[in-house]
Chain A
Amino acid sequence: ETGVTQSPTHLIKTRGQQVTLRCSSQSGHNTVSWYQQALGQGPQFIFQYYREEENGRGNFPPRFSGLQFPNYSSELNVNALELDDSALYLCASSRGGGETQYFGPGTRLLVL
């Protein structure tokens, strides 16, 4: 078990709504990365935060946004939800930008 926690565990939204997912990083870690895992696929990198600043972004539209707080916890916000946003959203924390990433259990989002 890692010390990375995510909430909520499951979520159901309708198309067009907005959602906020939360992640608490492992003690001593200052970097949080977010991934989207569609059914039957490998995780896809959304973005990374290092000491409250965005430190890299994958090929996701601007309606995917994030925050990192002074305690290094993080939020992922998705606006104008689409059906294809249905996925498992994984958060990973690490000691720094180039260090090993440890994953939380994920939040499963269903968009109807």
Chain B
Amino acid sequence: AQSVTQPDIHITVSEGASLELRCNYSYGATPYLFWYVQSPGQGLQLLLKYFSGDTLVQGIKGFEAEFKRSQSSFNLRKPSVHWSDAAEYFCAVGDYQAGTALIFGKGTTLSVSS
């Protein structure tokens, strides 16, 4: 069955430091991959997506992610974190065998320290 694993439940990063959030997926075909961010009590905002082509994907707010098929990973990175990046981050894979459901990981909470 399709699944997404985000191994880190909670990460704390100093403001200005670099960030990497891990995401591993299990999917039989070429995956459609997404990262969403959720601020407390809010809906989900799309950061970036991978459908095909260049495996390094640029998104909004200075985020990027790299698709590595051999490792079944789609890790999210940012070179310099800002206090406003503190939020919940979700990785998702598009499951196009069940309508077009998104299968989400359990999320990683990012805290930013000053």
Contact = CB atoms under 8 A, between A and B. Distances in A.
Interface of A: 2, 4, 31, 33, 35, 40-45, 47-48, 50, 54-58, 90, 92, 94, 97-106, 108
B100 A94 contact: yes
B101 A33 contact: yes
Contacts of A101: 100, 102
A55 B99 contact: yes
B91 to A, nearest CB: 9
A58 B99 CA distance: 9
Interface residues of B, number: 26
B68 to A, nearest CB: 21
A43 B37 CA distance: 12
Nearest to A101: B102
A104 B43 contact: yes
B96 interface: yes
Interface string B17-58: 000000000000000101010000111111001000000000
Residue from A2, A58, A101 having most chain B Cβ neighbours under 10 A: A101
B103 A45 contact: yes
Nearest to B99: A56
Contacts of B106: 40-42
A82 B36 CA distance: 29
Contacts of B44: 43, 90, 92, 103
B96 A98 contact: yes
B47 to A, nearest CB: 12
Nearest to B105: A42
12 contacts: A42-B92, A45-B101, A45-B102, A55-B99, A97-B99, A97-B100, A98-B96, A100-B46, A103-B43, A103-B44, A103-B45, A108-B41
A58 B43 contact: no
Question: 9 tightest A-B contacts by CB?
Answer: A56-B99, A42-B104, A45-B101, A48-B99, A103-B44, A103-B43, A55-B99, A105-B43, A97-B100
B42 A105 contact: yes
B101 A102 contact: no
